[in-house]
Amino acid sequence: MPENRVPRRRRFVVCEPRHFAVQYAINPWMSTGRPVDVIRALDQWQALVDAYRAHGHTVDTVAPVPGLPDMVFAANCAVVVEGRVFGSHFHAPERRGESVAYEAWFKTEGFEVQHPEAVCEGEGDLVPAGRWILAGTGFRTTPEAHREAQEFFGVPAISLTLVDPYFYHLDTALFVLDDENVAYYPGAFSPGSREVLERLYPDAVIATREDAMAFGLNSVSDGRNVFIAPGAGELADRLSERGYVPVPVDLSEFHKAGGGIKCCTQEIRETRS
């Protein structure tokens, strides 16, 4: 029988896609020849925000900045653990202005912010998972950033190497279900990293490449409800079998830039009382 899962209220940070566009190509999903329907993107983004709020979560918004078309992908801006913010240092020059805007917002909100020296793309590659931080590398964030984050948070960072360019960030290949388990696509990882994941998560939910390519692993879980791309049907079924409740949210317009639900969502993890 499926387990009785208990959701935990979350605080999310998002950014309206008012200026969203594909103006450059920095991953295999992006093509400047594919126009973006901004009205549809706005509607899809609002549906995600509404879904979060309908499930009891708090959603804060950061004002979009003209000239930063990827600023909607809030997950890449930082990692927040126990109220401390480790910011971003983007690999692509086109995105570096986003760091300034997000770090300014966090400071205004009263957070301590550390700007990384090494290339680091926030929750895109640094994924807090209970007792440790799962840390992706291979395409964007560097191992040096893993060490920086570990020193800043005092939380072990477990490096995982990504090998498939379609899964250029860890959050496109893996997401955290709760403090004890994850879902992931093994083919996105090097052999050694697959072994690490198998040891850490022997009961993980395993996704197919088809579900991963549908952005099924770019999902957000509150411990019970999983906000997931509707195209990842087989993965949704597997989650249901484990007692999770899939909440389909269509963010297909953002797939044109290589992003989805998690990419659009930064989580603020504040100190628990």
Tell me, what's the pLDDT at 62?
Answer: 98
Q: What's the whole-model pTM score?
A: 0.97
| Side chain identity, residue 239 | L
Cβ atoms 100, 52 nearer than 8 A: no
Q: How many CB atoms lie within 10 A of CB 19?
A: 17
- 173: nearest Cα among 158, 161, 157: 161
Tell me, what's the pLDDT at 66?
Answer: 97
pLDDT means over runs of 10, the chain (273 residues): 86 98 97 94 98 98 98 98 97 97 97 97 98 98 98 98 98 97 98 98 98 98 98 98 98 98 96 51
Task: Just list the catalytic residues.
Answer: 169, 263
Give the DSSP letter string of 199-253: HH-TTPEEPPHHHHHTTTTS-EE-SSEEEE-TT-HHHHHHHHHTT-EEEE---HH
What is the bridge-based pairing of β-strands 225-228 and 58-62? Answer: unpaired
Long-range contacts of 241-248 (CB under 8 A, 24+ apart): 241/2, 242/2, 242/3, 242/205, 243/2, 243/3, 243/4, 243/5, 244/5, 244/177, 245/5, 247/51, 247/55
- Residue 172: DSSP 8-state: G
Q: Which residues of 210-249 are buried (b: 16+ CB within 10 A; e: fewer)?
A: ebbbbbbbbbbbbbbbbbbbbbbbebbebbeeeebbbbeb
What is the bridge-based pairing of β-strands 225-228 and 11-15? Answer: unpaired
Q: How far apart are CA 32 and CA 199, in angstroms?
A: 41
Tell me, what's the pLDDT at 1?
Answer: 47
SS3 state of residue 175? strand
E-strand stretches of 132-194: 132-137, 157-161, 174-178, 181-184
Q: Which residues of 66-92 are buried (b: 16+ CB within 10 A; e: fewer)?
A: eebbbbbbbbbbbbbbeebbbbbbbbe
The label of the residue with tokens 């360019």 reads: 165
Tell me, what's the pLDDT at 35?
Answer: 92
Tell me, what's the pLDDT at 89?
Answer: 98
Tell me, what's the pLDDT at 273?
Answer: 35
Q: How far apart are CA 100 and CA 102, in angstroms?
A: 6
